[in-house]
Amino acid sequence: MIVGVLALQGDFREHAQVLRSLGAEVEFVRRPEELARVSGLVIPGGESSVMDKLSRTFGLAEPLKAAIRGGLPVYGTCAGLIMLADTVIDGIAGQQSLGGLDIAVRRNAFGSQTASFETDLDIPAVGEEPVHAVFIRAPIVETVGPAATALASVADGRCVAVEQGNLLGTSFHPEITGEYRIHEYFLTKVATAGLN
C-alpha cells in the first residue's frame, strides 16, 4: 500500500516523514501517473492559491477531482483543507478548489495579529489525550454542510477539523508537532478503503 503526498508546494516532506514513521511507503505525487499508483493521498500545508495554479498547470487537478469522487482517501492540512473544500471564502481572484468536502472555509481566518498560534484540541475520534495543534495563517471551517462531520473546534466553537467519508481535513498542522494520531487515523481509512 503506497500513500501519496501531493508535492507541488508546501510542507510535503514533513508529511512524508510522519507517514514513513508509521510504516507507510510514501510516493511524492506531481504527475497523474504517480497519483494512479497511490492508495491514499495527503495534501500538505502551504499556499492554496499556488497549489491550485500548479495542479492545473501540471494537469493534476482533473485527475485529483476524479480520484476524490472515486473514493480515494485524502487528508488535507491547512492549505490542503482549503483544496478539499467545496467553497472557498477569501480566495484570490479565480482561485479554485478540488472540492469534495461539503464545507465552506475562510482563508487566513484568524487575522494578521494571531496569524499563527498553538492550542490543545479535544478530538475524540483520535483518542482521549488532547491534540497539540499549530495554526499557521490557518483557515476556519465556517460552514459544515450536512454531508460533513465536525471533528474538532477551537475554544470559541469554530470548527477546525472535519471528516466526510473518504476525506479528512484539519486547519492545523499535526505533521510538525510530533503528533502522529491524526495520520494514524488517516492510514486506518486508507487500509479500510483498500479492503473494499
The sign of the dihedral angle between the CA atoms of 22, 26, 32, 38 is: negative
Helix, strand and coil percent figures for the chain, each rounded to 5: 30, 30, 35
Q: Binders of ligand GLN: how many residues, by CB under 6 A?
A: 11
**Residue 183: exposed, middle, or buried by beta-carbon count in 10 A (0-12, 13-18, 19+)?**
buried
Active-site positions?
78, 173, 175
Residues near 43 by Cβ (< 8 Å), separated by ≥ 6?
6, 51, 74, 75, 76, 77, 79, 80, 83, 84
Task: Give the residue with the Cβ less far from ligand GLN, 108 or 188.
Answer: 108
Listed ranges 16-24, 39-47, 59-67, 144-152: which one lies at the site for ligand GLN (CB under 6 A)? 39-47
DSSP β-bridge partners for residue 118: 134
Does residue 21 touch ligand GLN according to CB under 6 A?
no
Question: Binders of ligand GLN among 77-106, rule CB under 6 A?
Answer: 78-79, 82
Question: Binders of ligand GLN among 126-145, rule CB under 6 A?
Answer: 136-137
Helices (H), 38-124: 48-57, 61-69, 79-84
Listed ranges 62-70, 74-82, 179-187, 188-196: which one lies at the site for ligand GLN (CB under 6 A)? 74-82
Does residue 15 touch ligand GLN according to CB under 6 A?
no
Q: Is the separation of the CB atoms in 174 and 133 below 8 Å?
A: yes
Listed ranges 32-40, 45-53, 96-104, 140-148: which one lies at the site for ligand GLN (CB under 6 A)? 45-53
Does residue 187 touch ligand GLN according to CB under 6 A?
no
| Residues at the contact surface with ligand GLN, assessed by CB under 6 A | 45-48, 78-79, 82, 107-108, 136-137
